[in-house]
Amino acid sequence: MTTTTVRVLIADDQMMVRQGFTVLLDAEAGIEVVGQAVDGHDAVAKAAGLAPDVVLMDIRMPGLGGIEATRRITEARGAMAKVLVLTTFDLDEYVYEALRAGASGFLLKDASAAELARAVRVVAAGDALLAPNITKRLIAEFSRVTGAPRVVLKDRVGDLTERETEVLSLVAQGLSNAEIAGSLVVAEQTVKTHMSRILVKLGLRDRTQAAVFAYETGLVRPTGY
């Protein structure tokens, strides 16, 4: 049985951060750091040339910042790389913009080696790296910054079946596949199938982007904020 190695590109303007993460990740089975980038422009170029599975992206970098670099990487033709944003604070205002730009999640720079490795594997697998408590705060923030639902996106919700819309709503509320399966009284594999169809129909990369889509279209409205 063959094991797929997750290829990682680390983008950070601080050499010590790049080297530190490289040492930690290269020590993990099934993960290989294939390159380092010193700024956003370098990250975009190396993402195109090295074809990593995951890009660890610092938000604040000189020249081209992490948010715009994330947008360029995820919107490139044939883009496959998932972006995991590195930040100092879990509610950094730029995190929201990074998620809207296409990032699949975010990780604090002081994360442990185990947390870092898990984050890379989770994002590479296409799952969302947003803990439920973080998701709830993000709902409030998206509501504040996005204002009225984006009509162009809202029209695309009509492409989903009633059950797919229901699954998308639960994903946006931070529920896992197992929790959604329990809520809908269906098999977990059925939820996975619905999720795959949702991503294809909406042209989205992963669960995180599906959650962002749900908030921006008004499909999910925050309560209690």
- Residue 27 sits in the same domain as residue 119: yes
- Residue 84 sits in the same domain as residue 10: yes
Q: How far apart are the first and last CA of the chain?
A: 49
- Residue 148 sits in the same domain as residue 120: no
- Residue 107 sits in the same domain as residue 210: no
Which of the residues in the chain have pLDDT under 50?
1-2, 149, 151-152, 224-225
Which residue has tokens 């983008």?
11
- Residue 115 sits in the same domain as residue 148: no
- Residue 116 sits in the same domain as residue 182: no
Q: Provide the domain count of the chain.
A: 2
pLDDT at 136: 56
pLDDT at 1: 38
pLDDT at 142: 61
- Residue 50 sits in the same domain as residue 75: yes
Q: Nearest CA to 220 among 152, 182, 169?
A: 169
Domain housing 55: 6-129
Indicate the residue among 112, 129, 146 that finishes a domain.
Answer: 129
pLDDT at 225: 41
Indicate the residue among 129, 162, 192 that finishes a domain.
Answer: 129
Cβ atoms of 101 and 79 closer than 8 Å:
no
Q: What is the pTM of this model?
A: 0.74
- Residue 87 sits in the same domain as residue 173: no
- Residue 100 sits in the same domain as residue 163: no
